[in-house]
């Protein structure tokens, strides 16, 4: 996805599991504007397998 880059992608991976968009905003480098742009571009946040099974 454009706009992320390796460092931001690494931060997402380290912060998993993300349950909602607010969790993403808590990660360094993820402003409200960036998160909104990602949402508008079609990005999704999916719960982990364990959360889906609950």
Q: What is the pLDDT of residue 46?
A: 81
Domain that holds residue 20: 5-53
The number of distinct structural domains making up the chain is: 1
Report field, pTM of the whole predicted structure over 0.85: no
Cβ-proximal residues to 39 (8 Å cutoff; 6+ apart), any chain: 21
How close are the terminal C-alpha atoms of the chain, in Å?
Answer: 29
Mean pLDDT computed over 4-11 = 92
Is the pLDDT at 50 greater than 60? The verdict is no
Q: What is the pLDDT of residue 48?
A: 56
* Three-state DSSP class for residue 31: coil
Query: What are the pLDDT digits (tens) for 13-42?
Result: 999 999 999 999 999 999 999 999 999 999
Task: Specify whether the CB–CB gap between 44 and 35 falls below 8 A.
Answer: no
Q: What is the pLDDT of residue 4?
A: 85
Cβ-proximal residues to 1 (8 Å cutoff; 6+ apart), any chain: 38, 41, 43
């Amino acid at each position: 996805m454009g706009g992320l880059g390796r460092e931001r992608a690494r931060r997402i991976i380290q912060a998993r599991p993300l349950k909602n968009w607010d969790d993403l905003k808590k990660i360094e480098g993820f402003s409200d504007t960036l998160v909104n742009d990602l949402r508008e571009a079609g990005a999704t946040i999916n719960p982990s397998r364990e959360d889906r099974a609950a």
